[in-house]
Amino acid sequence: MNDRSDAPRGLWGRWRSMLLWKQIFLALAAGVVIGVVLNQTGNEAAAEAIKPIGTIFVNAIKMLIVPLIFVSLVVGMTSMHDMSKMGRIGLKTVALYLMTTAVAITIGLVLGAVIQPGAGIDMSAAAAMEAKDAPSLIDTIVGLVPTNPVSASAEGNVLQIIVFAILFGIAINMAGEKGRIVRDFFDSLSEVIYKLTSIIIGFAPYGVFALMVWVAGTYGLELLLPLGAVIFAVYLGCVIHALVVYGGMIRLGGGLNPVRFFQGVLEPQMVAFTSTSSSGTLPVSMTAVQRNLGASKGVSSFVLPLGATINMDGTALYQGVCALFVAQAFNVDLAMGDYVTIVLTATLASIGTAGVPGAGLIMLSLVLTSVGLPLEGVAIIAGIDRILDMARTALNVTGDAAVTVLVAKSEGELDQAAYDTPHVLDSASLKEMRG
């Protein structure tokens, strides 16, 4: 007689034994279907009523941002005793992020020119908007150093937290034997934070479901259809950039299987898609890159938090599409010099606007201003910004993971066996994640 006491029973048992990424995917799809049905039947209030569940999940992962970034970076710094190695990793990381951002906006411009999303759209009724200034280079540099680390943490100023954590970690290393106690404390604290992260990630399917019901139930099809060309161009660009650029980097630059890479980042992609927050997705990204893709804790603890603030490939691609959309809608012809200006402006602004709320629209205003395009177009884009933000945030997170894997590979700190594992998460890991 076979012992079936441990076999999953019923739908709930099958659901519990399912891989996490599959749970998130099914929850996302179900949320879209139910949300559209609620919208079409005039039950938007029901969609709004379920939003708090998603809000709680987003708040929970946001709760982890400051402690996770600080502890992870300190541990990452203390694990790299070689200062030259630290500088080498930092240089590789920033160079890769800036390069992929420039490529992303170029893809956006090409798609905008080919698809022409602004053709035939009357922008005359759009409300005038005032340009928002991105921080200047000097202000950005000065603002990197916090006057009060506690205040920076309370305000969620990620760049200042990163700078303080890096300096703090370097100081621990320089303290030598006397800094060992502090180093051991942060090693233990990091394990506690990672465990808390795993617990919260286990609730991702339910938060994702609620968020998608709310988005689809609120916006429905009415807003998507008229500006479908813009949405299509941005989503197509994100797919092309992910598969061609990131996939090509993983294959050619790292000699790794890109299929395994995309399997490993499914969870952070889906959480980013629904939460529209690169920083908020950081706990999920950290777990996926270390567990699914085999990147070392030292490298991922440095590269990922930095990427969550300065890597904005999805946002840059969106700038290219939207800039062409506005130019076409207002019948403005752009010269080759204007295209170059857009590429340079969006690439540099991706760092200058890091950590600024509403960075996507701020960057768009800056890009339009740099080539003299009417800012009225931002009013229309703002209406579908949430839909576009979902795709570009997912691409941002994918880029963070790709650069982390490449840097880890180049430093000999990538667990090849973990990377080559065909499963995103096995049942044992799923049970561990849920505590």
In the chain, what percentage of residues exceed pLDDT 90? 12
Decide if 110 is inside a domain.
yes
Residue 242 pLDDT: 94
357 pLDDT above the threshold of 70 = no
The residue among 288 and 75 whose pLDDT is bigger is 288
Which tokens hold the place of 229? Answer: 């060309």
Domain count, the chain: 1
* Mean pLDDT, the chain, whole residue set: 78
Across 53-189, the runs of DSSP E, i.e. the strands, are none
Residue 62 pLDDT: 72
pLDDT, tens digit, for every residue of 265-296? 988 898 888 877 777 788 888 888 988 898 88
Decide if 9 is inside a domain.
no
Residue 236 pLDDT: 95
Measured between alpha carbons, how far is 35 from 1 in angstroms, rounded to an integer? Answer: 46
Measured between alpha carbons, how far is 427 from 14 in angstroms, rounded to an integer? Answer: 11
Give the least confident one: 55-64, 147-156, 308-317, 357-366: 357-366
Which tokens hold the place of 170? Answer: 């370097």
Residue 225 pLDDT: 58
Residue 387 pLDDT: 78
Residue with tokens 């969620």: 156
CA-based nearest residue to 48, from 59, 56, 39: 39
Residue 361 pLDDT: 62
The residue among 362 and 238 whose pLDDT is bigger is 238
Band the pLDDT of 47: cuts 50, 70, 90. confident
Measured between alpha carbons, how far is 197 from 403 in angstroms, rounded to an integer? Answer: 22
Measured between alpha carbons, how far is 353 from 375 in angstroms, rounded to an integer? Answer: 18
Residue 423 pLDDT: 54
CA-based nearest residue to 376, from 327, 410, 412: 327
Helix (H) or strand (E) holding 92: helix 83-115
Measured between alpha carbons, how far is 346 from 353 in angstroms, rounded to an integer? Answer: 10
Decide if 286 is inside a domain.
yes
Decide if 292 is inside a domain.
yes
124 pLDDT above the threshold of 60 = no
The residue among 350 and 410 whose pLDDT is bigger is 410
Range of the domain at 24: 19-423
0.85 exceeded by pTM? no
Decide if 30 is inside a domain.
yes
pLDDT, tens digit, for every residue of 81-101? 666 666 788 788 888 888 898
* Contact status, residue 227 vs residue 387, Cβ threshold 8 Å: no
Which tokens hold the place of 173? Answer: 């290393």
Decide if 12 is inside a domain.
no
Q: Which amino acid is at 93?
A: T
CATH number at residue 24: 1.10.3860.10
pLDDT, tens digit, for every residue of 132-154? 444 555 776 777 788 898 888 88
Give the least confident one: 34-48, 133-147, 194-208: 133-147
Measured between alpha carbons, how far is 224 from 384 in angstroms, rounded to an integer? Answer: 8
Measured between alpha carbons, how far is 115 from 262 in angstroms, rounded to an integer? Answer: 27
Band the pLDDT of 4: cuts 50, 70, 90. very low
Q: Which amino acid is at 232?
A: F
6 pLDDT above the threshold of 70 = no
Residue 129 pLDDT: 43
The residue among 81 and 245 whose pLDDT is bigger is 245
Decide if 257 is inside a domain.
yes
Decide if 342 is inside a domain.
yes
The number of residues in the chain equals 435
Residue 272 pLDDT: 85
Residue 430 pLDDT: 42
Stretch 340-369: mean pLDDT, rounded?
65
167 pLDDT above the threshold of 80 = yes
Residue 247 pLDDT: 93
Band the pLDDT of 117: cuts 50, 70, 90. confident
Residue 71 pLDDT: 82
249 pLDDT above the threshold of 90 = yes
329 pLDDT above the threshold of 50 = yes
Residue 9 pLDDT: 60
Torsion-angle region of 156 (φ positive above 0: left; ψ -120 to 50: alpha; else: beta): left
Measured between alpha carbons, how far is 202 from 432 in angstroms, rounded to an integer? Answer: 10
* Contact status, residue 300 vs residue 404, Cβ threshold 8 Å: yes
